[in-house]
Amino acid sequence: MARSIATRTGDDGTTSLLYGQRVPKDHPQIEAVGAFDELNVALGAIKPHLAGGARGAEVRILLTQVQKNLVAVMGELACAESDADRYAASPFEKLAPADVRHLDEAVAALEARGLKFDGWATPGANLRAASCDFARVVARRAERRLAALPAAGRSVRPELKQFVNRLADLLWLLAREAEQS
């Protein structure tokens, strides 16, 4: 018989961190992991709205790589502080400074395209722009959940903070690009 996704272990309002420690489902780390999971889904929701051609393919590849990075972020955040060294030594993929640089390069490339914008954006010009703006606000929520973790006793590597901040900037620019397409 195949294993069921319904383990029933969470029926008491708890869930497991990566190495088995049980915490309440509203624990700050679970809130952070959930926010990054929502962000991963929001990035996926952009993909159906991408145009064909080279630019659409380029953005699709970028978003897919970012989604893979988010899985690494979620793994790291799902680990108790007491298991941080164990996680660091594990073969799990980790977010690296190169991943932040990749987003910096994508932001710089978009800025070099000469996008026009004036003041605060009003989302909704088209589906792709709205999807990018929605993903951006989800990224900012994930960023807030990440920023709250040190106060809850969970350290956060600088690369994680930089990555999500840069990702929100990138999504803002992708939304402005979509408005002008």
Q: What does the pLDDT read at residue 128?
A: 96
In one-letter notation, the amino acid at residue 25 is K
- Cα distance between residue 39 and residue 41, in whole Å: 5
Q: Please, what sign has the CA dihedral across residues 145, 151, 152, 158?
A: positive
Q: What does the pLDDT read at residue 173?
A: 96
pLDDT(108) > 80: yes
- Cα distance between residue 121 and residue 103, in whole Å: 21
* Higher per-residue confidence, 151 vs 22: 151
- Cα distance between residue 158 and residue 162, in whole Å: 6
Domain coordinates in residue numbering, the chain: 16-96+125-179
Strand-pairing partners, residue 16, are 22
The fold adopted by the segment(s) 16-96+125-179 is Hypothetical Protein Ta1238; Chain: A; (1.20.1200)
Percentage of residues of the chain with pLDDT beyond 90: 76
pLDDT average, residue stretch 60-87: 96
How many contiguous H segments (helices) and E segments (strands) does the chain have? 6, 2
- Is residue 128 within 8 A of residue 45, CB to CB? The reply is no
- Cα distance between residue 32 and residue 141, in whole Å: 9
- Cα distance between residue 178 and residue 50, in whole Å: 9
pTM value is: 0.92
